Amino acid sequence: MSDDELTLYPWRKKVKTLPESFKDPIENIIRVGHVPKLVVTREKVRETLGINRKPPTAYKHEDAREELEKLVKDTDLYDKATWSDRDDKTEDEG
Amino acid sequence: MTKSYALFLGCYIPSMQPFAEASLRRIAPRLKMKLIDMEGATCCPVPEIVRLANHDAWLYVSARNLALAEAIGKDVLTVCNGCWETLYEARENLVNDTQLLTEVNSRLAPLNKEFEGKIKVKHFLEVIVEDIGLKSLKDAFKQSLSKVKVAVQYGCKLYKSPNEKFVSYFDDILDTLGVKVVDYGAEKICCGFPLSLYSLDEAMEERSKFKLDKMQEAKADCMVTTCPGCFDVLEKAQLLLRREGIRYDLPMLNLMELMALGLGFKPQEIGLDKHRLKTDSLIAKLGLGGN
């Protein structure tokens, strides 16, 4: 949220800690380039429909995902969405 | 004359709803549209999550996608309400603030990309009505859809279009296709997609179920939308509510699929048999045989 939007929507709060429900989609965006992962069954459906098995997006182009990751690393979102939190949590729970 | 566009597919259509993409790719040549794939496009990124979490990240990633279209030299065609919102608003932010544009381009420069603001962002509805024209759509029309009663799920973003013109465009296209639109009285209620990011159960109970009840009461044969997010959550709701013994059997179509049927494509050609919710009742009503 930009500072301009804070003026427009004064009840909104800046996100300091990423809500748990945001972590999976943001992790997917950084690691895949998109929110949903493309599963093999859907790739097969695409093929039967006569369209490319992999869409011509970051699903197909790893370099595109890498570029997105670089841009996100320029912000604090990358740290907020860090999966090391989750690893620590898993170890604690374990 | 054929019109060319830089096609921005988004996330949900290519991965979860490929039948909508197949429909678009089939109908485009019939409507004299040339689609140029934006190779290497990523998530727009999704406004309900990324813009809220970090505005800069949202803007940088949007700008990269806009730069891809600008390198193609064509306006962006978005087929997702959320993608339209993100790319349209990101573009507006950038072209109206030179300092911001310079700052964002400094982030894109290491990727050998730049956005100057030369291209525009267009929604599918806008392209059909303003660029292609309803007359051309009518001229390409082959299969009567007059037996079908549809409930329209416009999606919240369409109400953000200038003067809500996309809502009117949606109605105009359905009118041209000759389908009957039922008034179910909850058109402006959110489908529940943003709420589903916090709790799918709450989204289903507080939003989706309310809408689906209303659509069923209005005796709609199917629901039609241009929003993959609405499609996803209302489809999930129908499937998951069955566990509670609630069954709607309301087939769901992307508008591009309905248009493909009207343009004479067979249900199997565009993947109506690939939906998670059966579309047999709709196909039968259209007299096009079962799946």
3-state secondary structure of B84: helix
pLDDT tens, position by position, A6-51: 676 777 666 677 888 888 899 999 999 999 999 999 999 999 999 9
Across the beta sheet with B76-78, the strand order is B33-37, B3-8, B76-78, B121-123
Comparing CB atoms, the residue among A15, A29, A38 nearest residue B43 is A29
Per-residue pLDDT, A3 = 62
Per-residue pLDDT, A83 = 62
Same domain flag for B237 and B208: yes
The answer to whether the Cβ–Cβ distance between B46 and A80 falls below 8 Å is: no
- What residues of chain B have any CB closer than 8 angstroms to a CB in chain A? 9, 11-12, 14-16, 18-19, 21-22, 25, 37-43, 45-46, 49-57, 60-61, 64, 107-108, 110-111, 113, 197-199, 270-271, 274
Whether residue B174 lies inside any domain: the answer is yes
How far apart are the CA of B268 and the nearest CA of chain A, in angstroms? 8
Mean per-residue pLDDT for B267-275? 95
Token representation of residue B284:
């039968």
Sort out which chain A residues have CB atoms less than 8 A from B14's CB and list them. Answer: 38, 46, 55, 57, 59
Same domain flag for B149 and B119: no
Going by the DSSP 8-state scheme, the letter that residue A35 receives in this structure is: S
pLDDT tens, position by position, B232-243: 999 999 999 999
How far apart are the CA of B218 and the nearest CA of chain A, in angstroms? 33
> In the predicted model, is pLDDT for residue A88 greater than 50?
no
Which of A6, A18, A62, A77 would best serve as a mutation to test chain B binding (most B beta carbons within 10 A)? A77
The answer to whether the Cβ–Cβ distance between A33 and B107 falls below 8 Å is: no
pLDDT tens, position by position, A50-73: 999 999 999 999 999 999 999 999
The answer for residues whose C-beta is within 8 angstroms of residue B287's C-beta and 6 or more apart is B147
Sort out which chain A residues have CB atoms less than 8 A from B110's CB and list them. Answer: 70
Same domain flag for B150 and B269: yes
How far apart are the CA of B264 and the nearest CA of chain A, in angstroms? 16
The strand ranges marked E within A16-85 are none
Same domain flag for B155 and B270: yes
AA identity, residue B78: T
Same domain flag for B153 and B214: yes
Whether residue B146 lies inside any domain: the answer is yes
Which of B16, B37, B49 would best serve as a mutation to test chain A binding (most A beta carbons within 10 A)? B49
Sort out which chain B residues have CB atoms less than 8 A from A11's CB and list them. Answer: none
Sort out which chain B residues have CB atoms less than 8 A from A69's CB and list them. Answer: none
Same domain flag for B29 and B149: no
B206: left (phi over 0), alpha (psi -120 to 50) or beta: alpha
Same domain flag for B162 and B268: yes
The Cα–Cα gap between A75 and B151 comes to 42
Tell me what ipTM this predicted complex has.
0.93
Per-residue pLDDT, B198 = 82
How far apart are the CA of B42 and the nearest CA of chain A, in angstroms? 5
How far apart are the CA of B269 and the nearest CA of chain A, in angstroms? 7
Overall domain count for chain B: 2
Please name the helix (run of DSSP H) or strand (run of DSSP E) that holds residue B181, with its range, or none.
strand B180-181
Same domain flag for B147 and B119: no
Q: Which chain B residue's Cα is nearest to A5?
A: B55
What's the first-to-final CA gap in chain A, in angstroms?
36
pLDDT band at B117 (very low <50, low <70, confident <90, very high): very high
Comparing CB atoms, the residue among A51, A56, A71 nearest residue B18 is A51
The answer to whether the Cβ–Cβ distance between A50 and B274 falls below 8 Å is: no
Sort out which chain B residues have CB atoms less than 8 A from A19's CB and list them. Answer: 198
Same domain flag for B15 and B102: yes
C-beta of residue B238 within 8 angstroms of C-beta of residue B212: yes
Same domain flag for B87 and B186: no
Per-residue pLDDT, A89 = 46
- Which is more confident, A23 or B229? B229
The answer to whether the Cβ–Cβ distance between B45 and A29 falls below 8 Å is: yes
Whether residue B77 lies inside any domain: the answer is yes
3-state secondary structure of B41: strand
**Looking at the DSSP assignment, which residues form a beta bridge with residue A57?**
B41
Whether residue B133 lies inside any domain: the answer is no
Per-residue pLDDT, A82 = 63
> In the predicted model, is pLDDT for residue A78 greater than 60?
yes
Same domain flag for B98 and B176: no
The answer for residues whose C-beta is within 8 angstroms of residue B55's C-beta and 6 or more apart is A1, A2, A5
- Which is more confident, B22 or A89? B22
The DSSP-derived string for B211-240 is HHHHHHHTT-SEEEES-HHHHHHHHHHHHH
Which of B11, B35, B58, B103 would best serve as a mutation to test chain A binding (most A beta carbons within 10 A)? B11
Domain that holds residue B30: 3-125
pLDDT tens, position by position, B100-109: 999 999 999 9
Q: Residue B41 is part of a domain; what is its CATH number? A: 1.20.1050.140
Per-residue pLDDT, A86 = 53
The Cα–Cα gap between A11 and B57 comes to 22
For strand B3-8 and strand B76-78, is the pairing parallel, antiparallel, or unpaired? parallel
Q: Which of B70, B93, B125 is the last residue of a domain?
A: B125
The Cα–Cα gap between B47 and B86 comes to 6
Question: Whose structure tokens read 């709709």?
Answer: B282
Same domain flag for B150 and B271: yes
Q: Residue B242 is part of a domain; what is its CATH number? A: 3.40.50.11810
The Cα–Cα gap between A18 and B196 comes to 16
pLDDT band at A93 (very low <50, low <70, confident <90, very high): very low
- Output phi, psi for B17, to 5 deg: -130, 55
Task: Report domain extents, chain A.
Answer: 21-82
Sort out which chain B residues have CB atoms less than 8 A from A30's CB and list them. Answer: none
Per-residue pLDDT, B206 = 85
